[in-house]
Amino acid sequence: MLLTGFLGVYVACAIGAQALASIQRSISPSEEGAPIEAFTSGLLWIIAMYGVIRITESLATGRRLFFWLAFTAALGALAVDEILGIHEATEPGFNDDWVKIAMWIATPFLLGYLSRIERAERASRIAMVIGFAIHSAYIFVETGDGEIFDLGVTLDVLKWSEEVFELLFLAAYTWALWTLVLRQHVPSSNESLEMDPGIESRDHGSEH
């Protein structure tokens, strides 16, 4: 519940900050230094931190260390690129839409692998599916700016849609992964009672 609230506030703040920047300073959502880009980069760092936790565990067990190193490094690189706009320097000579499409195609395989090795519960798997659906909407809008096909809407609508969809699918992926961390490392109220049966006995005693 707290994780859902945190991400909800995070997304709302990102959209609100971008709306203010667009109104007051005419900063486009896709422009370098746009607030929403910083928030998107932040989500990538939060997901990368999930990999850091798994690296720490892998150093002790020796299992899947290379995978978690690659996972964390890739997300860190994407986070840096998101805030600095390095890939945009390759345009117009290089169309980065094809890279995004390739990453989108690879995403279900990565999510499936993560779901299997992390033994993801139903709620986490549902969040992954929702995230991928929004991710697909993002790719549709991203490629509909005329370079691959034309959606026939204004550039401003396209840019806003791209950035909001990107923010939302990353938030869904963040929820899916960090739910696993909280499940494994933060005991529920029932588990706390099992670990400290004296709590329940004290409660019964206070009733008398």
Residues with Cβ within 8 Å of 172's Cβ and at least 6 positions away in sequence, in order, are: 127, 128, 130, 131, 134
Average pLDDT score over the chain: 85
Q: pTM of the predicted model, to two decimals?
A: 0.85
The torsion of the CA quartet 177, 166, 91, 102, rounded to 10 degrees, works out to 50
Provide CB contacts within 8 A for 127, sequence distance 6+: 172, 173, 175, 176, 179
**Which residue type is seen at 191?**
E
- Whether 120 is in a domain gets the answer yes
Question: Which tokens hold the place of 50?
Answer: 């999930």
For residue 73, pLDDT beyond 90: yes
Of residues 88, 87, 99, 101, the one with CA closest to residue 139: 101
Which residues contact residue 199 at a Cβ distance below 8 angstroms, ignoring those fewer than 6 apart?
Answer: 192, 193
Q: Are 42 and 35 contacting, i.e. CB atoms less than 8 angstroms apart? A: no
For tokens 């997901």, the residue is 47
Q: Is residue 50 in a domain?
A: yes
**Mean of pLDDT values over 198-202:** 48
Lowest pLDDT segment from 20-24, 159-163, 199-203: 199-203
Q: Count up the domains in the chain and report the number.
A: 1
Domain that holds residue 158: 9-185
pLDDT in tens, 87-139: 666 666 667 788 899 999 999 999 999 999 999 999 999 999 999 999 999 99
Residue 15 lies in a domain: yes
| 93 domain-assigned | yes
